[in-house]
């Protein structure tokens, strides 16, 4: 064998293998073959940042295959993806081949990159080999070491200071901060009322249109010029008594320029908006389109490399797409010269082309039958976006009519806009996030009305005055698309990392996605607050972006990578040690200061409203337990009042966070006169009849000290028969079923719940009582010391006959389960020896 070509994926290997002759064997590494083990000491700062790589278990077989084949070839061609990660994989493969002595002195090693997996692209790349770019490799090593050092140093601090937290990461923590900061903005947002006024007018030819009042009494109306209904109605009344005339007409032609072809982030954004794909799903499909699809017996790569921040294309690609546009839509849709785009992305490397079809002769319709639904949708999106990027502008005819009242009091404006030439709209329109207008739109709004033909000084008839109330809205929560866009704008992360950042935040339980919007979980908000208070520099947006800048400088060969790590580590290790030494009480105090006002609010005197509703003397505050964070009383353990921090996890049907609720009174119980209060405990919301007393049996082993001793085998003895059960008094409490919203529960519902437990009567066969009740885990029946869960029936209405049926059904299910277990273990019994079960011989 003469030549061994190594790529990352088997799909790509299969495609490329068909383009090359019998002198080439193409194999796959199946991604990274080595990485830093997830354990302490994989990077050693005190040994000049020595990095201890290890071949992953899943790669062992693939590495052996590559090594075996490499020993018998004259040339090795390393062809992983054309980016830092790909360069790093190529270097790792070469290092492993060296360590395994798979290379002879005569073996030639080359590096090639494929920007598209087509026959021409592959053959051109093979003809232009180069050496491994060690600057790119070192930049990737620096990034990997940085992420390792942050993760393995900062995460233990979280585990120590915030039990229940999962981990922290260099980029993921900054992305989490974005989501949490946005939630803070939403919660602190104070909506403002404002009004605008429209008038409906009619021409002399009885044609109707709408105009907006923009000036009153010589003063231009700003957004908050009219702030209440009284002001609005006063102006409306005066407008009602006026006559109106066309003051001036302005006509102009405006245009909208096409969008640039896709980068990784813009593809993820638009795919989320138009197709509903997550960032990770988009990248998975794009990878498949890049590596090759089987078409008529041969594999064909359909798009160029999908990890890029470039919006430029090769001259050959631009020429080809312009020809395709002319063929499909005519020469009018091809601009006189190619559209040139300038990147607005901070730190754009632009090392590759934009994402585009690899061959413009392969239209989406031609390959529809070879693609699944999702692959076709994404390829169609990429195809149309690329075509639109080199198409002519959309042209609008815009008419602006200014109208004045007679006598002079107010001025109004009516705007009409119609598309004169559809240009790139013929193929593609970009969706927008949260109705945010692009800066490139030149104040064009094609949704404006079609105005009738008007002339200056034409008299108009007033049909209606319409004052409308509005309220300012908080900023929207991030979607996947808008979060990726924000990260890109800030220069945080890189095209290859956006999808993994989002996945990690969800996997760690720091955020959830609901209605395609990010909501921070309680755990995520507390972690963010902790990091902002004690590691603020490391979650600052500019600081993180600056680290990305320096990694780019390393990749350009302008900075020594270990010096970069040394500078970072000197500060970070010192800051980490300082925080680790802080007493837990100090951390808790800071968190309480930050969360106190948000959770409890303040009274008219400015004091926190955090008096414990149970004991009335303690103060509620943030507590950290091994399973997470909660609100507890300062008088613990004498007072065990607890509640969730931000209410129940989850969101309502409108995608809003469910509001948390404080302990509150529902009124007096009609029978006892005691107050009925709704509270939240560790198992959720419950009703309490304050002042009432029921017995709560508590086991007391104090009469027999020996009961606590251990036997000779180290196991605790069973409870002594002499142990006593004492009783303590507590208020009557009943859990609120999940189908009742605790925020809307009323006095009547609460009184119904307090009738529990209900004595349903005597079981006709056993003679035992049947009790209906609600516990921490939901409604249940109690019979003969056994519990039966009630899932569908209303526990307040269930009768004796239905209860007997449920108990019988539960008993049958239990017997069936026991029989199954008995049958499964039966064959093992004949191999039993001295009470232990040995494995049966096959």
- In this prediction, residue 446 has a pLDDT band, given cuts at 50, 70 and 90, of very low
pLDDT of 297 reads: 79
Would you say 746 and 755 are in contact if contact means Cβ atoms under 8 Å apart? no
pLDDT digits (tens, 9 = 90+) for 431-444: 765 544 444 444 44
Q: Which of 549, 582, 615 is the last residue of a domain?
A: 582
Query: For residue 825, is pLDDT > 50?
Result: no
pLDDT digits (tens, 9 = 90+) for 322-341: 999 999 999 999 999 999 99
Distance of CA 366 to the CA centre of its chain: 35
Q: Which of 528, 555, 582 is the last residue of a domain?
A: 582
Would you say 241 and 409 are in contact if contact means Cβ atoms under 8 Å apart? no
Position 93 in a domain:
yes
pLDDT of 1 reads: 62
> pTM above 0.85?
no
- In this prediction, residue 296 has a pLDDT band, given cuts at 50, 70 and 90, of confident
pLDDT digits (tens, 9 = 90+) for 468-519: 999 999 999 999 889 988 998 898 887 778 888 888 888 888 898 888 899 9
C-alpha span between 791 and 758 (Å, rounded): 17
Domain match, 371 and 299 both = yes
Q: Which of 334, 360, 392 is the last residue of a domain?
A: 392
The per-residue b/e assignment along 475-492, b for 16 or more CB within 10 angstroms, e otherwise, is: eebbbbbbbbbbbbebbb
- In this prediction, residue 198 has a pLDDT band, given cuts at 50, 70 and 90, of very high
Q: Indicate the SS3 state at residue 451.
A: coil
* Per-residue DSSP letter, 265: H
Query: For residue 201, is pLDDT > 80?
Result: yes
Residues marked active site are found at: 305
pLDDT of 650 reads: 38
Least confident of 15-24, 254-263, 419-428: 15-24
Position 671 in a domain:
no
C-alpha span between 3 and 18 (Å, rounded): 14
* Cα-only R_g, the chain: 35
Position 666 in a domain:
no
Sorted by sequence, the CB contacts under 8 Å of residue 476 that are 6+ apart come out as 433, 434, 482, 517
Query: For residue 229, is pLDDT > 80?
Result: yes
Residue 332 maps to which CATH number?
A: 1.10.290.10
- In this prediction, residue 367 has a pLDDT band, given cuts at 50, 70 and 90, of very high
C-alpha span between 473 and 436 (Å, rounded): 13
- In this prediction, residue 829 has a pLDDT band, given cuts at 50, 70 and 90, of very low
Domain match, 7 and 98 both = yes
Domain match, 355 and 414 both = no
pLDDT of 696 reads: 52
Residues of the chain with pLDDT > 90, as a percent, come to 48
Tell me phi and psi for residue 21, to 5 degrees: -80, -170
Domain match, 532 and 570 both = yes
Would you say 359 and 117 are in contact if contact means Cβ atoms under 8 Å apart? no
pLDDT of 711 reads: 41
pLDDT of 462 reads: 96
pLDDT digits (tens, 9 = 90+) for 613-644: 889 999 888 876 655 567 888 888 888 887 76
Beta strands 3-7 and 642-643, pairing class: unpaired
C-alpha span between 342 and 340 (Å, rounded): 7
Query: For residue 725, is pLDDT > 50?
Result: no
Q: Indicate the SS3 state at residue 231.
A: helix
pLDDT digits (tens, 9 = 90+) for 517-542: 999 988 888 889 889 999 999 999 99
Q: Of 389 and 610, which is predicted with more confidence?
A: 389
Which neighbouring-strand residues pair with 45?
Answer: none
Which neighbouring-strand residues pair with 219?
Answer: 216
Position 302 in a domain:
yes
Residue 60 maps to which CATH number?
A: 3.40.50.140
Average pLDDT over the chain, rounded to an integer = 83
The per-residue b/e assignment along 303-333, b for 16 or more CB within 10 angstroms, e otherwise, is: bbbbbbbbbbbeeebbebbbebbeeebeeeb
C-alpha span between 600 and 603 (Å, rounded): 9
The stretch 111-115 carries a mean pLDDT of 93
Distance of CA 475 to the CA centre of its chain: 17
Query: For residue 691, is pLDDT > 70?
Result: yes
Instruction: State the CB neighbour count (10 A cutoff) for residue 244.
Output: 22
Domain match, 387 and 271 both = yes
Domain match, 455 and 480 both = no
646 is written with which tokens?
A: 């931000």
C-alpha span between 345 and 492 (Å, rounded): 11
613 is written with which tokens?
A: 């509703």
Position 687 in a domain:
no
Find the helix or strand (DSSP H, E) in which 64 lies. helix 60-70
Domain match, 246 and 287 both = no
C-alpha span between 550 and 106 (Å, rounded): 38
C-alpha span between 172 and 500 (Å, rounded): 9
- In this prediction, residue 681 has a pLDDT band, given cuts at 50, 70 and 90, of low
Measured over the CA atoms of residue 524, residue 528, residue 534 and residue 540, the dihedral's sign is: positive
Least confident of 102-116, 146-160, 343-357, 490-504: 343-357
pLDDT of 828 reads: 37
The stretch 56-67 carries a mean pLDDT of 91
Position 694 in a domain:
no
Domain match, 385 and 399 both = no
Least confident of 133-137, 176-180, 353-357, 752-756: 752-756
C-alpha span between 435 and 444 (Å, rounded): 14
Residues of the chain with pLDDT > 70, as a percent, come to 84
pLDDT of 422 reads: 94
Least confident of 86-100, 197-211, 430-444, 614-628: 430-444
The stretch 801-824 carries a mean pLDDT of 74
Q: Of 283 and 444, which is predicted with more confidence?
A: 283
Query: For residue 722, is pLDDT > 50?
Result: no
Q: For residue 510, what are the domain limits?
A: 141-189+476-582
Domains: count for the chain: 5
Which neighbouring-strand residues pair with 111?
Answer: 78, 130
Distance of CA 485 to the CA centre of its chain: 13
Residue 165 maps to which CATH number?
A: 1.10.460.10
- In this prediction, residue 683 has a pLDDT band, given cuts at 50, 70 and 90, of low
Would you say 569 and 43 are in contact if contact means Cβ atoms under 8 Å apart? no
Least confident of 330-344, 364-378, 603-617, 827-841: 827-841
Domain match, 301 and 448 both = no
* Per-residue DSSP letter, 337: S
Domain match, 276 and 363 both = yes
Query: For residue 267, is pLDDT > 80?
Result: yes
Sorted by sequence, the CB contacts under 8 Å of residue 447 that are 6+ apart come out as 417
Query: For residue 220, is pLDDT > 80?
Result: yes
Domain match, 328 and 386 both = yes
Position 611 in a domain:
no
Position 686 in a domain:
no
- In this prediction, residue 752 has a pLDDT band, given cuts at 50, 70 and 90, of confident
Domain match, 9 and 128 both = yes
3-state secondary structure 378-436: HHHHHHHHHHHHCCCCEEEEEEEEEEEEECCCEEEEEEEEEEEECHHHHCCCCCCCCCC
pLDDT digits (tens, 9 = 90+) for 383-404: 999 999 999 999 999 999 999 9
């Amino acid at each position: 064998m003469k030549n061994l070509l190594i790529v990352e994926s088997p799909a790509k290997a299969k495609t490329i293998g068909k383009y090359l002759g019998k002198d080439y064997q193409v194999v796959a590494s199946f991604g990274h073959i080595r990485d830093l083990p997830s354990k302490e000491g994989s990077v050693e700062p005190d040994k000049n940042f020595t990095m201890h790589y290890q071949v992953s278990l899943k790669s062992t077989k693939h590495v052996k295959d590559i090594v075996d084949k490499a020993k018998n070839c004259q040339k090795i061609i390393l062809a992983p993806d054309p980016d830092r990660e790909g360069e790093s994989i190529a270097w790792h493969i070469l290092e492993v081949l060296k360590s395994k002595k798979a290379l002879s002195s005569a073996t030639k090693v080359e590096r090639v990159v494929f920007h598209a997996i087509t026959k021409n692209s592959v053959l051109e790349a093979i003809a232009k080999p180069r050496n491994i770019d060690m600057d790119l490799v070192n930049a990737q090593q620096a990034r990997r070491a940085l992420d390792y050092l942050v993760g393995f140093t900062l995460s233990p601090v979280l585990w120590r200071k915030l039990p229940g937290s999962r981990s922290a990461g260099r980029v993921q923590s900054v992305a989490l901060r974005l989501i949490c900061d946005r939630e803070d903005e939403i919660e602190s947002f104070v909506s403002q009322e404002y009004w605008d006024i429209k008038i409906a007018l009619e021409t002399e030819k009885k044609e109707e249109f709408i105009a907006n009042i923009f000036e009153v009494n010589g003063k231009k109306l700003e957004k908050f010029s009219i702030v209440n209904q009284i002001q609005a109605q006063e102006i409306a009344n005066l407008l009602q008594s006026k006559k109106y005339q066309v003051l001036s007409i302005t006509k102009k032609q405006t245009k909208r320029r096409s969008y640039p072809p896709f980068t990784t982030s813009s593809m993820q954004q638009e795919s989320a908006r138009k197709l509903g794909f997550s960032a990770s799903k988009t990248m998975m499909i794009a990878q498949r389109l890049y590596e090759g699809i089987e078409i008529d017996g041969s594999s064909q790569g359909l798009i160029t490399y999908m990890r890029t921040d470039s919006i430029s294309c090769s001259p050959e690609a631009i020429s080809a797409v312009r020809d395709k546009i002319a063929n499909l839509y005519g020469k009018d849709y091809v601009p006189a010269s190619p559209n040139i785009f300038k990147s607005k992305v901070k730190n754009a490397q632009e090392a590759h082309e934009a994402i585009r079809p690899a061959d413009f002769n392969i239209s989406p319709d031609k390959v529809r039958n070879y693609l699944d639904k999702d692959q076709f949708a994404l390829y169609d999106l990429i195809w149309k976006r690329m075509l639109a990027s080199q198409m002519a502008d959309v042209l609008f005819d815009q008419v602006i009519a200014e109208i004045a009242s007679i006598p002079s009091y107010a001025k109004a404006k009516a705007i009409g806009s119609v598309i004169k030439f559809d240009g790139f709209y013929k193929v593609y329109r970009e969706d927008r996030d949260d109705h945010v207008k692009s800066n490139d739109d030149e104040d064009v709004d094609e949704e404006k009305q079609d105005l009738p033909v008007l002339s200056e000084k034409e008299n108009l008839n007033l049909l209606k005055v319409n004052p409308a109330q509005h309220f300012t809205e908080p900023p929207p929560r991030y979607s996947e698309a808008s979060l990726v866009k924000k990260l890109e704008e800030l220069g945080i992360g890189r095209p290859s990392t956006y999808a993994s950042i989002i996945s990690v935040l969800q996997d760690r339980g720091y955020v959830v996605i609901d209605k395609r919007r990010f909501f921070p979980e309680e755990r995520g908000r507390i972690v963010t607050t902790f990091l902002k208070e004690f590691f603020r520099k490391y979650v600052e947006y500019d600081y993180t972006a600056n680290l990305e800048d320096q990694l780019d400088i390393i990749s350009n060969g302008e900075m020594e990578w270990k010096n970069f790590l040394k500078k970072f580590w000197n500060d970070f290790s010192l800051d980490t040690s300082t925080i680790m030494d802080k007493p837990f009480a100090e951390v808790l105090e800071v968190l309480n200061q930050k969360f106190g006002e948000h959770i409890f609010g303040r009274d008219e005197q400015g004091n926190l409203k955090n008096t414990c509703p149970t004991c009335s003397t303690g103060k509620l505050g943030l507590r950290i337990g091994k399973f997470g964070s909660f609100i507890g009383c300062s008088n613990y353990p004498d007072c065990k009042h607890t509640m969730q921090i931000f209410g129940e996890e989850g969101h309502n049907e409108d995608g809003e966070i469910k509001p948390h609720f404080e302990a509150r009174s529902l009124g007096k119980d009609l029978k006892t006169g005691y107050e009925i209060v709704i509270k939240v405990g560790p198992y959720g919301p419950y009703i309490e009849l304050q002042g009432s007393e029921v017995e709560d049996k508590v086991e007391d082993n104090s009469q027999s000290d020996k009961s606590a001793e251990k036997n000779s085998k180290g196991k605790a003895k069973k409870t002594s028969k002499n142990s006593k059960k004492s009783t303590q008094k507590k208020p009557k409490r009943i859990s609120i079923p999940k189908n009742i919203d605790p925020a809307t529960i009323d006095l009547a519902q609460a009184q119904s719940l307090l009738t529990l437990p209900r004595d349903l009567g005597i079981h006709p066969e056993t003679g035992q009582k049947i009790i209906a009740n609600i516990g921490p885990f939901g409604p249940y029946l109690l019979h003969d010391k056994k519990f039966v869960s009630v899932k569908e029936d209303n526990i307040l209405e269930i009768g004796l006959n239905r209860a007997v049926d449920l108990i019988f059904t539960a008993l049958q299910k239990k017997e069936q389960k026991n029989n199954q277990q008995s049958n499964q273990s039966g064959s093992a019994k004949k191999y039993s020896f001295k009470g232990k079960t040995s494995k049966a011989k096959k």
